[in-house]
Amino acid sequence: MANTIRLKRASGSDPGASDLVTGELAVRTDTGKLFTKKDDNSVTEIGVTGNAATATKLETARTIAGVSFDGSANISLNNNAITNGAGYITATLTNEQVQDIVGGMVTGNTETGITVTYQDGDGTLDFVVGTLNQDTTGNAATATALETARNIGGVSFDGTGNINLPGVNTSGNQDTSGNAATATALATARTIAGVSFDGTGNISLNNNAITNGAGYITATLTEEQVEDFVGGMVTGNTETGITVTYQDSDGTLDFVVASQTDNNFTDTLKNKLDGIAASATNVTNNNQLTNGAGYITATLTNEQVQDIVGNMVTGNTESGISVTYQDSDGTLDFSVTSQTDNNFTTTLKNKLDGIASGATNVTNTNQLTNGAGFITSADGGNAATLDSLDSTSFLRSDAADSGTGLLSLSGGIAFSDAAKCTAAVSALSDGSTITVDFTSGIHHSVTLGGNRTFGNPSNDGSAVGQSGSIFITQDGTGSRTASFHSDYKFVGGTAPTLSTAANAVDRLDYVIKASGVIHCVVSLDIK
């Protein structure tokens, strides 16, 4: 019979340092992983070859854009300038970068009849068509000759006749050195993203994965995205004499210049039309302009102006002043209401502040009017005699009382709302939801018979400013939990976890700041 060798084994978790001695092997029977304890008292997994889903390091470090990477730590790359040995490839273009590139393509260029301005602030392009009132003298669409003859391939040409060029339409040779507009091949082939190109044929590149010799750089902008960026730069902007429309379906821009019926329309003629409304009526009487209902006199006489101003002030509401228009002489009369005492001082005025209209003049200093009659001293006479009145009817001081003394009350103080003001502790009803009525008392207690919720309190709005305590007791079982309505506000915004021991007592101290706002502090396990 073959021998069986069994290693230390377990299932459900990796072995710890306390489970093994140095050099001892252990196997997890559920995963098949093998572990050993090293000299430094750490436990490590052994015998893993090939690719691992949880590998922490590459066996062979790789270079990414010139930076060594073995997986043990993060590396940083300049996303905007990753070298491929020949130049730089922009890996990621932001909206602003695309806008600046397109803006640079149109800003400062030579345009005829149109001005294009790139607004870097909002990333838009403004198109303005120039005034089409140019002087058409000089060059004409049907000119028969050039004012100044030009040389074409060394042959003089003034437009009056055709010319022949050797090597083009007649036999002979032209100097073709240098770059040619119709070259069929490059003198020196170039490499584009690793693909040789000499111009004799098309090449294909994977736009989303251009190798730089170390790995792949993924461009984040598709052709559709670039089209949408550019389309957004011209759509809905302010243009003059031109309409720009982005066709998202085929990724094109449509430019439509407004119709110009007369290219010879001069500034002088244009200025005559400024300010004239559409479909305006031609009027030969310069003093009369039709408004569709009658005539408006364009020139106002002095009398007409005076009447207009007079009507602006006559019959209006004024305080302390009267304004009268004298039509006979075209003047305005201003009359300030009479002031009987111009010497009325601020001091005198202040004496009247706070005195109600129709107040009664009182000469008896012991009497104060309340609007219905007079309030007199309790004995009907001088208030100084109150000390001699029966103390069973009035709260008074005796002869020994002073401003710094104490007021002694033999009978105590009685309150009409005894339930609310008493110091007694009111018992709350235990249930799945515990509702506190803050007008029933200032102190409350409850014993939790299960997991409970302190629900929306009642009458807290009627007890604003009240403070007190709620005593929360665990029953004989303990481990009861409690949650609180949002009206209860705790430090840090989180309700505390109550004590869990059987019969444990926690105290919640509260102050009702406002309706729906109850500030709370909990003291745990009060012994």
Close Cβ partners of 119 (under 8 Å, ≥ 6 residues apart)? 125, 126
**Total domains, the chain:** 4
- Label residue 227 exposed, middle or buried (CB < 10 Å: 0-12, 13-18, 19+): middle
Whether residue 113 is found in the same domain as residue 256 = yes
pLDDT at 138 over 70: no
* Extended beta strands in 66-154, E state: 67-69, 82-83, 88-89, 114-119, 124-129, 150-152
What are 174's two structure tokens?
């032209």
Whether residue 117 is found in the same domain as residue 221 = yes
- Label residue 249 exposed, middle or buried (CB < 10 Å: 0-12, 13-18, 19+): exposed
Residues spanned by the domain of 244: 87-130+206-260
Domain contains 251: yes
State how beta strands 190-192 and 195-197 pair.
antiparallel
Domain contains 454: yes
Give the pLDDT score at 209. 46
pLDDT higher at 494 or 376: 494
State how beta strands 8-10 and 25-28 pair.
parallel
pLDDT higher at 413 or 261: 261
What are 359's two structure tokens?
């107040």
Query: What is the C-alpha separation between 35 and 45, in angstroms, rounded?
Result: 4
Whether residue 110 is found in the same domain as residue 228 = yes
Whether residue 244 is found in the same domain as residue 318 = no
Mean pLDDT of 454-467: 93
Distances from the Cα of 522 to the Cα of 140, 180, 300, 447, 504, angstroms: 96, 89, 84, 16, 13
Domain contains 254: yes
Give the pLDDT score at 49. 60
pLDDT digits 0-9 by tens, 83-110: 555 445 555 678 888 888 888 888 778 7
What are 196's two structure tokens?
């040789």
pLDDT higher at 245 or 393: 245
Q: List, in sequence order, every residue forming a beta bridge with 519; answer none if it has no partner.
A: 489, 511
Domain contains 196: no
What are 232's two structure tokens?
């957004």
Give the pLDDT score at 37. 94
pTM above 0.95, yes or no: no
Is residue 459 a contact partner of residue 479, using CB atoms and an 8 Å limit? Answer: no
Cα 476 to chain centroid distance, Å, stands at 54
pLDDT higher at 477 or 130: 477
Residues 377-393: b if buried by 16+ CB within 10 A, e if exposed: eeeeeeeeeeeeeeeee
Query: What is the C-alpha separation between 116 and 255, in angstroms, rounded?
Result: 13
Whether residue 110 is found in the same domain as residue 32 = no
Is residue 27 a contact partner of residue 9, using CB atoms and an 8 Å limit? Answer: yes
* Extended beta strands in 248-348, E state: 252-257, 288-290, 295-297, 321-326, 331-336
Domain contains 42: yes
Query: What is the C-alpha separation between 496 and 93, in angstroms, rounded?
Result: 50
How would residue 463 be classed by pLDDT, with cut points 50, 70 and 90? very high
Whether residue 121 is found in the same domain as residue 42 = no
Tell me the average pLDDT of the chain: 77
Nearest CA among 139, 116, 142 for reference residue 129: 116
pLDDT higher at 203 or 319: 203
State how beta strands 425-427 and 443-448 pair.
parallel
Whether residue 307 is found in the same domain as residue 211 = no
Query: What is the C-alpha separation between 456 and 268, in angstroms, rounded?
Result: 80
Whether residue 126 is found in the same domain as residue 242 = yes
Domain contains 437: yes
pLDDT at 279 over 60: yes
Judged by average pLDDT, the poorest of 300-304, 486-490, 523-527 is: 300-304
Query: What is the C-alpha separation between 467 and 390, in angstroms, rounded?
Result: 38
Domain contains 289: no
How would residue 184 be classed by pLDDT, with cut points 50, 70 and 90? confident
Q: Which helix (H) or strand (E) holds 447?
A: strand 443-448
Give the pLDDT score at 526. 93
Whether residue 501 is found in the same domain as residue 424 = yes
Whether residue 112 is found in the same domain as residue 241 = yes
Domain contains 277: no
Whether residue 320 is found in the same domain as residue 223 = no
Is residue 445 a contact partner of residue 473, using CB atoms and an 8 Å limit? Answer: yes
Query: What is the C-alpha separation between 79 and 349, in angstroms, rounded?
Result: 78
pLDDT higher at 229 or 174: 229
Whether residue 506 is found in the same domain as residue 451 = yes
pLDDT at 392 over 80: no
> How much of the chain exceeds pLDDT 90, in percent?
27
Give the pLDDT score at 375. 45
pLDDT at 315 over 90: no
